[in-house]
Amino acid sequence: MSRIHDAVIVGGGYAGVVAANRLSTSPALTVTLVNPRPSFVERIRLHQRATGSYDATVPYREVLAPSVRLIVDTVTRIVADSSRLELASGVELHFDRLVYAVGSHAATPEVPGAAEHAIALSTLEQSDDLRHRLESLPAGAPLTVVGAGSTGIEVAAELAEQGHPVTLLAGGGLGPSLHPSTRRTIARQFERLGARVLSGPGARAVAVQADRVQLADGRELSSARTVWTAGFTVPDLARRSGLTTDASGRLVTDEALTSVDDDRIVAAGDCAAPSGRPYRMCCASAQPLGALAAETVLLRVAGDAPRGRSLALPGQCLSLGRRAGVMQLARRDDTSLRTHVGGRPGALIKEGITAGTLVGLRTMARRPGLIPAMKLLQDPRRAALLAAPGAPASGSVAGSPVGDVTGLTD
Ligand SMILES: Cc1cc2nc3c(=O)[nH]c(=O)nc-3n(C[C@H](O)[C@H](O)[C@H](O)COP(=O)(O)OP(=O)(O)OC[C@H]3O[C@@H](n4cnc5c(N)ncnc54)[C@H](O)[C@@H]3O)c2cc1C
C-alpha cells in the first residue's frame, strides 16, 4: 500500500473548512485542522453578533467531516525545510502537505488615537468587545463608523437600525467597489435609517479620542464609540516563516494555489495571492479557493499535475440592517454592473446566501465528496490581466503554469 500523507490545514475559516472536508475524501491522507478556537466563526455575521441578533459560532463537529482531526492551537511558525509546524502550545506537528488558510483581520490603524480608542470588527473577540462597549452606552449616544467598504456599511446600518445615532465616514467613498446606482440605493437606505453619511476626502478621520473623531476638513464629531473598518490585512505567519509573500503578507502562489517556494504548500482564502494578484477578500472567493487548493493537493498526491484555474465572483451581497439589503451583480472580472436588487428583496437574497453558506458547509461535512460539484466559475479576463505588461512572468513555478492562458481558463 502507498504511504499515507499527513495533510495539515492552518486556519479553520471558510477556505480551511472546505479544503479539510474535500481532503478527507482521500484514503491517502490523514487530515488535521489547526485553529485557535474550538468553534467555527461565521465571520460574515460578526456585525450581527456585535449587535446581538445572531451568535455566529458553530461547533466544528457540525461543519467538519468526522475524519478530520481538530487541534485547537495557533501555528507560530512553518518550518518547511523540516516539514513541521511549531504551535503556540509548544507542540510540533509534522506535515507532508500544508494548506495555508489563515484568513485576514483588521489592519492596525495609523491614525493617531485610533488603535487606542477605536474598535475594529474583524474577529470574534472584536465583535464581542464592540457588543460589550455598546451595552454600557447611554441611550442616544452618538456612534461613528470609519470606513464605508462592505463591513463599514453593514455595521453602520445594523447600528442605525437599532436606534443609535450613527455617522458613517466614507472618506474613500461609499461602497467604492459598487456601481454608482447601488451606492445611491444604499445612501437612500441610510437616510431612512436616520444615519448620516459623510463622503469625500474631507471626511477622512485624522485623529480619534475616547469621545470624538477629528476629520481632515477640520470638523470634529462627538463619538461615544468609534468603530474602525478601514483596512484589512493578513496574518504575517507566512512572511515570518520565510515564505514568499506579497506586500501585505499574503502567500504568493501560482494559479493552482501552490506556493512559489514549495510545492507541498498551497494557500486559500483571504491570505492567498495567486500570481501575486489576489482576489477580493470575501467568503465568496474563500470557499471555492479552498476547494481548488484541495484539488491541487489531491492531484499532486496522486502523481498528477495540478491545473491552474481562475475564479469568477458572481457579485456581492450586503445587508443594510435586518430589513433591507443589496445584491450587486458583477461581471466575471468582479467589476460591478448597474444591475442590483435592493430593499426587502435584497435582504431576503442576502439572508438566503448567508444562511445557505452554513447549510452548504454542514452538508459538505456529511458528504465531503459533494465538493467537486462546486463548479468554479471561470474568469476569462484574469488570463488577459496576467498576460498584460507588468504581470508576473510566464513560466513554470513550483510545477504548474503561471500566466499560461490555457492553464488559467480551462
Ligand atoms: C463583519 C464582516 C462581514 C463580512 N461580510 C461578508 C459578506 O457578506 N460576504 C463575503 O463574501 N465576505 C464577507 N466578509 C469577509 C469574509 O468574512 C472573509 O473574506 C472570509 O471569512 C475569508 O475566509 P478565510 O477562510 O480566508 O478566512 P477566515 O474566515 O478569516 O478564517 C481564517 C481562520 O484562520 C485562523 N487562523 C489565523 N491565524 C492562524 C494561525 N496562526 N494558526 C491557526 N489558525 C489561524 C483564524 O482564527 C480563522 O479561524 C465579512 C467580514 C466581516 C469581518
Q: Is the CB of 46 under 6 A from ligand 1?
A: yes
The yes-or-no verdict on residue 262 having pLDDT over 90 is: yes
What pTM value is reported for the model? 0.93
User: Which residue's C-alpha comes closest to atom 53 of ligand 1?
Assistant: 122
End-to-end CA distance of the chain: 33
Q: 374 pLDDT band (50/70/90 cuts)?
A: low
Q: Where in the chain is the domain with CATH 3.50.50.60?
A: 5-104+234-309+354-409, 110-230
Q: 313 pLDDT band (50/70/90 cuts)?
A: confident
The yes-or-no verdict on residue 210 having pLDDT over 90 is: yes
Q: Which of 282, 285, 322, 351 to mutate to test the pocket of ligand 1 (most atoms within 8 A of CB)?
A: 282
If you measure from the C-alpha of residue 103 to the centroid of ligand 1, how many angstroms do you get, rounded to a whole number? 5
The yes-or-no verdict on residue 315 having pLDDT over 50 is: yes
Q: What is the pLDDT of residue 336?
A: 94
Q: What is the pLDDT of residue 387?
A: 64
Segment 12-45, tens digit of pLDDT: 999 999 999 999 999 999 999 999 999 999 999 9
How far apart, in whole angstroms, are the C-alpha atoms of residue 202 and residue 261? Answer: 44
Q: Where are the beta strands (DSSP E) in 293-372?
A: 315-319, 325-330, 336-341
135 SS3 class: helix
The yes-or-no verdict on residue 386 having pLDDT over 50 is: yes
Q: What is the mean pLDDT of the chain?
A: 91
Q: Flag the least confident range among 18-22, 238-242, 286-290, 383-387.
A: 383-387
Domain 5-104+234-309+354-409 has CATH 3.50.50.60: yes
- Write the single-letter amino acid at 38: P
User: Which residue is associated with the grid cell 454542514?
Assistant: 362
Q: What is the pLDDT of residue 167?
A: 98
How far apart, in whole angstroms, are the C-alpha atoms of residue 118 and residue 133? Answer: 11
One DSSP character per residue, 168-215 reads: EEETT-SSTTS-HHHHHHHHHHHHHHT-EEEESGGG-EEEEETTEEEE
The CATH classification number of 110-230 equals: 3.50.50.60
Cβ distance 75 to 35 under 8 Å? Answer: no
Beta bridge partners of residue 212, listed in sequence order: 209, 222
